[in-house]
Amino acid sequence: MKPVKIVLIYQSLLGIYGDRGNATVLAKRLEWRGISAELEVVEPGDPIPSDAQLYLLGGGEDMAQISAANAITADGGLYRGLESGAVLFAVCAGYQICGNSYTVGDNDTVVAGLGLLDVDTRRAPERAVGEILTRWERPDGSQSLITGFENHGGHTTLGRGARPLAAVEIGVGNANDGTEGAVQGRVIGSYPHGPILARNPQLADHLLTMATDRDMSPLDDSAIDRLRSERIAHVRRGRK
């Protein structure tokens, strides 16, 4: 069987807060199950392969996100990959650029996004910085907590084509409106860093199931579960 191909796009532009770890987590969780994975890190100037099952975008500085979006549009490989049925998971700046449009920093100039998610991002009244805790409804209807930290100066509003990924318990999320992230077909955007897939392996496995069309057998996540409990208790205590 061919390895599952994961492409991390422009880690030098969109790689703050260790978001690259999302790619490592996905590849490792496949390998731990005996499924071979191929992780390719693509930098600006390299062609983005169009034959991956999973693409990843991370967070980034304001100007870097504009450069990344321009290069992704010019390359076209990500679009072709998504047309072939791949999954895209995008964090923070990566999430914002997937939308219809966004602004960066204190600048209100509207920049066109990649048009992969029906969302728009505009300057927020104040920067969202801190721990975030959300409730994600899994495909089977059960709820799962997602922990991470957010640091973004934009507020994102969803159009009719996208639905929220999760509901906010603590933190700002999309726009202080109780929602976090966006899902549209096989494209998922989300604000938390952590990296989010290291802190929340249940979300990593969801992406892997989507991308491979295979159920992911349980792994021993007991050490991660202990850390999760500590973090969740900590952030809930901090709210009081």
Nearest-approach distance from CB 226 to ligand GLN, in angstroms? 27
The correct pick among 37, 90, 104, 158 for binding ligand GLN (CB under 6 A) is 104
CB of 93 to ligand GLN, least distance (A): 3
DSSP one-letter code for 185: T
Nearer to ligand GLN, 96 or 200 (CB): 96
Q: Is 59 in the site for ligand GLN (CB under 6 A)?
A: yes
Should residue 145 be labelled a site residue for ligand GLN when binding is judged by CB under 6 A? no
Q: Report d(CA 23, CA 10) in Å as an integer.
A: 12
Q: Of the candidates 153, 173, 194, 195, which one interacts with ligand GLN according to CB under 6 A? A: 153
Does 152 bind ligand GLN (CB under 6 A)? Our answer is yes
Q: Which of residues 12-41 bind ligand GLN (CB under 6 A)?
A: 16
- Which of these segments, 34-42, 135-143, 147-155, 157-165, binds ligand GLN (CB under 6 A)? 147-155
CB-nearer residue toward ligand GLN: 57 or 210: 57
Decide whether 37 or 164 has the Cβ nearer to ligand GLN: 164
Residue that the structure tokens 């029906």 belong to:
118
Going by the DSSP 8-state scheme, the letter that residue 207 receives in this structure is H
Q: Helices 21-31 and 201-212 sit at what angle, rounded to 10 degrees?
A: 70
Cα of 87 vs its chain's centroid, Å: 11
92 scored as a contact of ligand GLN (CB under 6 A)? yes
Range in contact with ligand GLN (rule: CB under 6 A) among 38-46, 54-62, 106-114, 205-213 = 54-62
Distance between CA atoms of residues 65 and 95, nearest Å = 10
- Copy the structure tokens of residue 75: 């390359």
By CB under 6 A, name the one of 25, 48, 71, 93 that touches ligand GLN. 93
Count residues near ligand GLN (CB under 6 A): 13
**Helix, coil or strand: residue 38:** strand
Q: Determine the residue type at 221.
A: D
Binding status of residue 99 toward ligand GLN by CB under 6 A: no
Q: For the chain, give me the number of helices (H) and strands (E)?
A: 7, 12
Under the binding rule (CB under 6 A), the answer on residue 86 touching ligand GLN is: no
Both structure tokens of 59: 């967070």
> Helix/strand/coil (H, E, C) string of 190-233?
ECCECCHHHHCHHHHHHHHHHHHCCCCCCCCCHHHHHHHHHHHH
Range 154-183, binding ligand GLN (CB under 6 A)? 154
Contact (CB, 8 A) for 189 and 165: yes
* Both structure tokens of 95: 């999430």
Chain residues that interact with ligand GLN, rule: CB under 6 A? 16, 59-60, 62, 65, 92-93, 96, 104, 151-154
